[in-house]
Amino acid sequence: MSQMPLYPLRFAPIYQYRLWGGRRLGETLSEPLPGSDPIGEAWVLSDRADHQSLVANGPLKGQSLGQLMEHSREALMGKLASRFTRFPLLLKFLDAQTMLSVQVHPSDAHPELIPAGDTAKTEAWVVIEAEKDSQIYAGLKSGTTEKILRSSLEDETIADHLVCIHPKPGDAVFIPAGTVHTLGDGVVVFEVQQNSDVTFRLYDWGHIDPRTKASRPLQVDHAFACIDFGASDAGLVAARVETSTPVERESLFDCPAFLLCRLIGQDPFPVGATAEPRVLVCIAGSGQVTHNQIPYSVGKGDVWLLPAEAGVCAFQPSGETTLLEIAIP
Residues 69 and 201 reside in one and the same domain: yes
Residues 124 and 269 reside in one and the same domain: no
- Amino acid of residue 110: H
Residues 30 and 148 reside in one and the same domain: yes
Q: What is the pLDDT of residue 301?
A: 95
Write down which residue in 236, 262, 293 finishes a domain: 236
* Torsion (CA) 266, 269, 272, 275 in degrees, nearest 10: 180
* pLDDT per residue rounded down to tens, the chain (329 residues): 446 889 999 999 999 999 999 999 999 998 999 999 999 999 999 999 999 999 999 999 999 999 999 999 999 999 999 999 999 999 999 999 999 999 999 999 999 999 988 999 999 999 999 999 999 999 999 999 999 999 999 999 999 999 999 999 999 999 999 999 999 999 999 999 999 999 999 999 999 998 899 999 999 999 999 999 998 999 999 999 999 999 999 999 999 999 999 999 999 999 999 999 999 999 999 999 999 999 999 999 999 999 999 999 999 999 999 999 999 99
Write down which residue in 236, 255, 287 finishes a domain: 236
Q: Is 3 a domain residue?
A: no
Q: Is 307 a domain residue?
A: yes
Residues 67 and 146 reside in one and the same domain: yes
* Torsion (CA) 113, 115, 120, 123 in degrees, nearest 10: -110
Q: What is the pLDDT of residue 4?
A: 81
Write down which residue in 175, 205, 236 finishes a domain: 236
Q: Is 1 a domain residue?
A: no
- Spell out the residues 6+ positions from residue 311 whose beta carbon is closer than 8 angstroms to its own: 272, 273, 274, 275
SS3 content of the chain, % helix, strand, coil (to 5): 15, 40, 45
Residues 188 and 287 reside in one and the same domain: no
Catalytic residue ranges: 201
Residues 298 and 209 reside in one and the same domain: no
- In angstroms, the CA 323 to CA 262 distance is 6
Q: Is 2 a domain residue?
A: no
Residues 17 and 161 reside in one and the same domain: yes
Element holding 126 (H helix, E strand): strand 123-129
Residues 216 and 308 reside in one and the same domain: no
Residues 228 and 253 reside in one and the same domain: no
Q: What is the pLDDT of residue 3?
A: 63
Q: What is the pLDDT of residue 2?
A: 46
CATH number for 148: 2.60.120.10
Distances (CA, A) of 102 to 24, 56, 99, 152: 22, 35, 8, 12
Going by the DSSP 8-state scheme, the letter that residue 212 receives in this structure is T
Residues 145 and 66 reside in one and the same domain: yes
Residues 117 and 49 reside in one and the same domain: yes
- In angstroms, the CA 266 to CA 288 distance is 12
Q: What is the pLDDT of residue 1?
A: 43
Q: Is 257 a domain residue?
A: yes
Domain that holds residue 164: 9-236
Q: How many domains does the chain have?
A: 2
Residues 306 and 230 reside in one and the same domain: no
Cα end-to-end span (Å), the chain: 27
Q: Is 279 a domain residue?
A: yes
Q: What is the pLDDT of residue 117?
A: 85
